[in-house]
A and B are shown apart, each in its own frame.
Chain A
């Protein structure tokens, strides 16, 4: 893991890896999401309690998983950037943030849509939804901080530290929100991804989750290459202006 990670820290090796991995990850993403959505919408059974609303689970739950996984990945990359000075890792974290924010937005919007028939209202301060909302704010803070400096590298370093502080804080936030929620005893609890899930629902869930994960890899590769091009352009421009003076 560490060695392959270090090897990927070389931009040239990364480009080679990205070129080879991109078609595969796009293919798995399209296949996984396509078949998962069809399975979830048409082939899987309706829940005996929630009826057809349970079909929202196949987009809501994997999106929430990816939102959390993406933040963990971002924090890991940020740590690698700050500790080992792997600039590529920092750039990858920068590329991951908007993706994570999009997954978080999907989880929030679909959760809200699911809440309407389940709770009778669009938004309930349910423990899970609230935690995801705070996660969304953390993503926004990271992106805002990274973009707030004239010196791009300075912004990236500040934002990387914020990502680390955030990942330390996230379990505490999760714990406190759970505690707060039981204190206020909500009217009903969204039963999603509980342990008693039937196999006929587990399969489409697993397939969509795979599709989401492959999508995450593919879009990350695209965005990292895009960021690398931008950073290289700026480095060249700096060198040019230095050559002129």
Chain B
């Protein structure tokens, strides 16, 4: 567990050193949400109806902005090979990387989501569920994103490629994350989508860790 903590701490330190990945993701999230009213118009009713979707889709895009860098730096400076050779299972180290990625990209979005929800007129009754659904869903975004980040190591044009690979795989968590918020707005049952979202997180975590580790081993072979 010491390596796990060390890896998380190192990634977080790197993120702060590089001038704050978290801050950048946060600014992206805020600006991207704020652009939507310019696209669909300022009508409060319309915004209220689509606000959950706007926030969730923007959270998805925000989580992807730093995916390309997730493992590339480790590959270039050789620390990926050290990770693969160390006694700790690579899957555990992938988990540490994902946790660090979530802290710098998912957590800020969760924290700031009520403010953005207010700006685009989401019903206050749904705020809590929005926070909960994002708190469950954003780790999935990081985990699935990690598979994409590991797969494109060494590829040409990896930035656009990650989007093509990762976006379709994120459809389920997006649907149930937004579904939970919409359930509140429509007066339907909130628990089914929320529980399914949690199930995706629980079942998806080992799968994503395994797939990322396999992809990383391919990259250094």
Contacts and interface: CB of A to CB of B under 8 A. Distances in A.
Contact of B218 (A144, A148, A154, A166): A154
B175 A176 contact: yes
Given A149-B156, A162-B151, A183-B182, A144 B161 contact: yes
Given A154-B218, A161-B215, A162-B165, A173 B151 contact: no
A46 B164 CA distance: 41
A57 to B, nearest CB: 26
B126 interface: no
B215 A158 contact: yes
B169 interface: yes
A183 B179 contact: yes
A134 interface: yes
B168 A137 contact: yes
B167 interface: yes
Contacts of B218: 154, 157-158, 161
Contact of B172 (A150, A162, A176): A176
B156 A148 contact: yes
A164 B215 CA distance: 12
Contacts of B171: 134, 173, 176-177
A166 B154 contact: no
A interface, over-half SS = helix
A141 B172 contact: no
A177 B175 contact: yes
A100 to B, nearest CB: 14
Interface string B142-186: 000001000110111110010011011101100110010010000
Contacts of B211: 161, 164-165
Contacts of A82: 214
- For the side of the interface on A, what is the size category? 20 to 34
Contacts of B175: 176-177, 179-180
B164 A168 contact: no
B207 interface: yes
Contacts of B179: 179-180, 183
Contacts of B147: 165
A169 B169 contact: yes
Nearest to B182: A183
A138 interface: yes
B64 to A, nearest CB: 14
Interface of B: 147, 151-152, 154-158, 161, 164-165, 167-169, 171-172, 175-176, 179, 182, 193, 196, 200, 207, 211, 214-215, 218
